[in-house]
Amino acid sequence: MNKRGVIVTAWAGAGHAILGALYWLLLQIPESNVFMLTASLLVVVAAVAGAGIVEATALAGLRPNVRAKAAFATGTRRAMWIVLPLALFGAFWWATGFATQWLTAVRGQIDAWFIATFGWTNVGWFHTLTAWVVWFLRYPIAVALGVSLMAALTDVGAGALTRSAWLARAWHWRTALVVPFALLVGFYLPWQFVVPWRPASLPVSWVQPAFAAVKLALVFVVMNLAWVAVLACAGRERPEAPAVLATPATPAAPEQA
């Protein structure tokens, strides 16, 4: 990872920590009256705007020859476009959730069909396969499409909606390899095995919370590294794309006669 990648990762980590704090604040607001509901709505708006600034700035900062100040200016200007990638991801989330519920409801019928058609009594492999297909659609595919769309919106704004380049970028073979690997290694495996893990030999003292804090901090770093890898791959700049984010060069002074 080069210097630019380290800076973007640090920016993403700081931004995601603030977003996490906003989420915690949202959970603490009791929705007991109109005032509290308004406060919750303001926190949600702030979180969405903050997420837009964090991700758009990170995407702009990954572009070559773009300075930090220019990346931040682009990120703040294009921040609210994040509602479209979020809506796209939400659509995938809803569709895959519906598919999961449907597969669960007809699980017995699927088993009966395999028995009647092929005589197979153990088809657990099929349900495992469908669960992974749903996971792949919900996370790698949806995330790749959302990040690619956000990158296009960060680059050219509303003009991205009339172009299909972001779709081609999301379906590129490199994206199809890097995004699932990054999500699997950086998010799924740590949450499944590292976060709940605690050595039985730890004494019942300050050591346990200290161990948990260090462990979660390391997981947080790994998650941000994986996320920046997703941004760098799914949101990479097309070679033929105009350098709309590059810092304009200072015009040269006219030569003296």
Structure tokens at 211: 């161990």
pLDDT at 253 (0 to 100): 46
The neighbour count for residue 255, using CB atoms within 10 Å, is 5
Each residue's pLDDT tens digit, 129-142: 999 999 999 999 99
The neighbour count for residue 224, using CB atoms within 10 Å, is 22
pLDDT at 237 (0 to 100): 65
pLDDT at 181 (0 to 100): 96
Nearest by Cα to 230 from 137, 149, 140, 155: 140
- For 110, residues 6+ apart whose C-beta sits below 8 A from its C-beta are 103, 123, 126, 127
- Inter-residue contact 170 to 152 (CB < 8 Å): no
The whole model's pTM is what? 0.86
pLDDT at 240 (0 to 100): 44
Distances (CA, A) of 52 to 18, 86, 226: 13, 10, 18
pLDDT at 154 (0 to 100): 94
Distances (CA, A) of 159 to 88, 156, 162, 165: 17, 6, 6, 11
| Rounded distance between C-alpha atoms, residue 72 and residue 77, angstroms | 8
Burial readout 29-54 (b: 16 or more C-beta within 10 A, e: otherwise): beeeeeeeeebbeebeeebbebbbbb
Q: What angle do CA 236, 55, 57 make, to 5 degrees?
A: 80
Low-confidence ranges of the chain (pLDDT < 70): 1, 237-257
Nearest by Cα to 241 from 173, 179, 153, 171: 153
pLDDT at 125 (0 to 100): 94
SS3 32: coil
- What are the percentages of helix, strand and coil residues in the chain, rounded to 5? 75, 0, 25
